[in-house]
A and B are shown apart, each in its own frame.
Chain A
Amino acid sequence: MSNSVGCKIALTAVIVAVVMGGLGFITGFLTHTVLVAGQPPTPQTIVVQVTVTPAPTLPGLEPTEPPELPQPTPEPTPTPPPTDHAHPAFDLFWETWDLIQEEYYGDLPNEEEVTYGAIRGALNTLGDPFTGFIEPRVAAINREDDSGSFEGIGAYVTMREGRLVIVNTFQDQPAEKAGLRRNDIVLKVDDTPIENMSIYEAITLIRGPAGTQVRLTILREGEEPFEVTITRARIDIPVVESEMREDGIAYVSLFEFSSDASVKLGDAIQPLLAQKPRGLILDLRGNPGGWLNEAVSTAGLFLPRNELVLIERFKDGTERPYHTDKKPLAPDIPLVVLVDGGSASASEIVAGALQDHGRAVLIGEKTFGKGSVQLAHELSNGAELRVTVARWFTPNDRAIHGQGLEPDILVEIGQEDVEAGRDPQLERAVEYLLTGR
C-alpha cells in the first residue's frame, strides 16, 4: 500500500514539477521580454539648445612626436575570442546605439565606421596618446609606403586632448614656408576631420610623396579656422652638426635618432677628438627620439662595454635590460649633455644612462618624459592597433615616463635670450667644462 501511495505521490510530483518548470520558463521569458520591452525610453524633453563653446585655450608647449616607433618587433599574439560578455555595463552602448538608429535625423555611418569610432572612444579612456588605432585604409598606406615616411611637410606634431598640435616646424621646410606655427591645431587634412584620430593616422594622412599637395584646416588661437595648402617635399633633416670651438671645447648636436644616428655621431666625434678638446658637449635639446637601438649605441659611444643603458619593464613585471656592446669611442673625455623639454624618448634614454653612470653632467631644463614602448598588432580586418606595453627605466631604476629627467644644473632660456641670440645653456656647459664647476 505504501508503495502505491509512494508511486502516486511521485507521479504527481513529476507532473507538478513539469508544470512548474513550464510556468518558470514562461515567467523567465516574460520577465526578460518585459524588461526589454520596458526599456525603450520615451524622450523626456525635446531640447533645442546649444552651448557656444569659447575658443579653445592652448595648453603649454609639450613637444614630442615619435618619428618612428621605438624598436620592439611585434610579437604575434594569438587572436582572442571575438566577443565579450565580461563587461555587463557595456549594454549601455547598445541601448544608446539602438536609440540612434531609431531617432537620429540624418545619415547613419556604416557599421565599420561606428565600430572604429567606438574603438577610438574606448582607447581615449586610457589617457595615453600613444595607444592608438589605425584603420585598414591608413594602415595599408603605412605598410606599403616606406619612402613616404621621409616625405611630408616638415613639422613635429603631438596629440593634445584629442587634437593634433604642431610642436615645431623645421627651418626652410614646407610647413614653415606655408606659415604654420608652434601650437597651431590641425582640424582637417584635405577634407577628413582628424579629431579623435590616433596620432599615427593623422601623421599618415599628412605625409605623402614629394610634390603632391595637402590641404590643412588650421585653428590658431584668436582666429577663425583657415585653410593652408602645402606642397610636400622630401624632408632632409641634418642628423648631426659638429664644431670645434675656439675655446677648445668640442660641440656635437644630434637632431634625431634616425636609423644611422650613432654612426653619424661617431663619424662627427672622431675628428674632433683628434684635436684633443678639453671637453665635449652633446646637444640633445629638441631631439624627439627615434630608434631604441640607436639610443643604446649612442650611449655606447661614451660608456664601457656591457654597461646597463636602460630597463624595459612590461605590464606583468617582466624586464628586458639593454647593455652597451661595443668598445667606446669616447670613454674618458669630460662630457656635458644639453637637454630641454623637447628632449624626449631616445634622448632621455641616453641622457638618463649617462647621468646615472656619472659619465656626463646634464645641463638645461627638465626633459619631456616620454618613456613608453608601443607594440603594433595587426587586427583581423587589416587595421592596426598600437598599444603601450612597456615603460623605460634608467639604470638606477628611475622612471622616465611622465617624469622626465631633472638636469644636474638647471639653466633656463628666456624669450629675451632667443631674441638676443644668446644661449645661456651652452654658455653654462662651456663654463662647466673649462672650470670643472
Chain B
Amino acid sequence: MSKRTIRLFLVALLVTTAILSAYAAGIGTGWLLLHNKTASAEEATGFSLFWEAWHLVERNFYGDLPDSQHLAWGAIRGALATLNDPHTTFLEPQPRQREKEDLSGRFGGIGAYVTQAEDGSIVLDPMPGQPAEQAGIQKGDVVLKVDDTEITPGMTADQVVALVRGQVGTVARLTLRRQGLAEPFVVEIVRQEILSPSVEWRMLEETAETGYIRITIFSDRTDRELKQALGELTGQGMTHLVLDLRGNGGGLLDAAVDVASEFLDSGPVLHQVEKGEKETTFTARSGGRFTTGPLVVLVDGGTASASEIVVGALQDRGRAIIVGQKTYGKGSVQSVFDLSDGSSVHITSAQWFTPNRRQISGQGLTPDVEVAISDEDRSQGRDPQLERAIELLTTGQ
C-alpha cells in the first residue's frame, strides 16, 4: 500500500469520525437544551422542598429505602390526596390491568373461579366448557404454584387471579393439590379469551310475563348482552320487567347511555359539565327494545355512578318506578389516563346531572317506593325489594 493511499485512508477516517461526533454532539446539545428547560421549570414550582426532605431521608433513615418507581408512586398518591377527592386515584399497573379486563368484559385466562377457602388456601372452580375444565381441573383443587411463583399463605385470591391471567395463547402452568391424591400434580393450560358477563336474565317464576334482568357492571359488552337479554325475554312473552341495579358500582359512561337507550326513546339521559363549565347533553338513541312496557328498577346504597345515571334518567322521565333504598350518590365522571410505566390515574373531569338537573353528588337518588332489606331477610334468602317490585307490576300499586 502506498503512502498516499494510507494518508487518504487516514483523512477519510478522521473526516468520518469528525462528522459522526458532530452529529452526536448536535443530538446531545439539542436534547439537553430542552431537557434542562423542563428541569428548571420543575425547580421553579417550589417543589425543591420535596428533594430537601427526601435527601435527609436517604442519608439518615435507618431501614430500607424504596426504589425510585415506588418513591414516585408514593409521591403521586400523596399529591392526589391533597385534592380531597376520593375518586381521583392512582392505580398501579396490576390493578389497572384488572380494571381494564373488568370494563372490557373479557380477558386472557383459564376459565375458573378462584376463591379463598376458609383455611386460607386458594381453590379453583372451573367454568363449564372452558379451558380449565377441559384440562381436567376439578372443583376444590388447591393451587400451590402458578408458573414459578409459589402461593404463600398471605396471598389473596386477587393476587392469584393476576398470576393466572395473561395473554391469550400463552401457557399457564399450575401446580395443584387434589384431595385423595398423595402427590401434587402439574397442569398446563393455554390461556384463552374468557368473557365475563355483565348481564344475567330470566323470566320470573312467581308471575307470568314478568322478566328479570340484573346488570352487575357497565362494561364494553353490556349493551350487546342487554339487547340479547331483552330479545330472548320478549321472545318468551315478557311484557313487564324488573331491572336490578343493586350493588352495581358503575362502569363506562357510554354503556350507561346505551342501557338507558333501551328503555327511553330519544330525549336527554344526562347533562355533563366539564372544566370551564362546558356542558354536554347525552341523549338516548332511538330504537330501544323496551320503551313502553311497565318497568321497575331495584336500587340500594351500592347503586352508584353509571347506575345512578340510568336510574336518574328513568326516574326523571317518568319511565320507571324506582324501588329499594337510597343510592350511593356519586355524580362525578372520571377520565382514565394510562401513564408511561403501565400505571394509571383516574381524574375527576366532570360532574353530571339528571335530565331535570338534579345534583347527585353526596345526595343519591331516593326511590319512589322505599323498601329496606334486613340481614335477617338475607340469611333466610328473602328479597322483600324484589317481592315489592313484582307486586307493583302485577297489581299496579
Contact = CB atoms under 8 A, between A and B. Distances in A.
A28 B30 contact: yes
Interface string B267-296: 000000111000000000000000000000
A20 B29 CA distance: 13
Contacts of A2: 4, 7
Given A104-B348, A106-B85, A122 B71 contact: yes
A80 interface: yes
A120 interface: yes
B328 interface: yes
Contacts of A127: 63
Contacts of B348: 104-106
A31 B330 CA distance: 43
Contacts of B301: 52
A118 B50 contact: yes
B57 A45 contact: no
A121 B73 CA distance: 8
B26 A23 contact: yes
Contact of A105 (B26, B74, B84, B351): B351
Interface in B13-32: 14-15, 18-31
B300 to A, nearest CB: 10
A359 B61 CA distance: 34
A48 B73 contact: no
Contacts of B63: 126-128, 388
Contacts, number: 344
B75 A93 contact: yes
Contacts of A39: 340
Contact of B252 (A48, A82, A121): A48
Interface stretch (B112-120, B203-211, B302-310): B302-310
Interface in B308-363: 309, 328, 330, 332-341, 343, 345-352
Given A21-B25, A390-B62, A45 B82 contact: no
Interface stretch (A258-266, A362-370, A377-385): A377-385
Contacts of B39: 83, 85
Contact of B82 (A91, A93, A99, A113): A113
A17 B17 CA distance: 9
Contacts of A28: 26-31
A396 to B, nearest CB: 20
B4 A52 contact: no
A84 B30 contact: no
B78 A49 contact: no
A79 B46 contact: no
Interface of B is mostly: helix
Given A17-B19, A32-B31, A82-B43, A48 B306 contact: yes
B1 interface: no
Contacts of A108: 83
B252 A104 contact: no
B45 interface: yes
B156 to A, nearest CB: 14
A96 B50 contact: no
B212 interface: no
Nearest to B301: A52
A193 interface: yes
A52 B34 contact: no
Contacts of A89: 67-69, 71-72, 341
A222 to B, nearest CB: 12
Given A103-B335, A105-B350, A122 B50 contact: yes
Nearest to B55: A80
A50 B49 contact: no
Given A44-B336, A123-B74, 16 more contacts: A2-B4, A36-B34, A43-B335, A43-B337, A46-B336, A49-B249, A80-B56, A84-B51, A97-B76, A103-B335, A104-B83, A115-B46, A119-B78, A125-B70, A389-B62, A390-B62
6 closest pairs, A vs B, by CB?
A121-B78, A24-B26, A28-B30, A21-B22, A28-B27, A29-B30
25 contacts: A14-B18, A16-B19, A21-B23, A21-B25, A24-B30, A46-B349, A47-B336, A48-B253, A49-B304, A52-B304, A86-B68, A91-B72, A99-B347, A100-B83, A104-B347, A117-B79, A117-B82, A118-B75, A119-B49, A121-B76, A125-B70, A125-B73, A126-B65, A126-B66, A387-B61
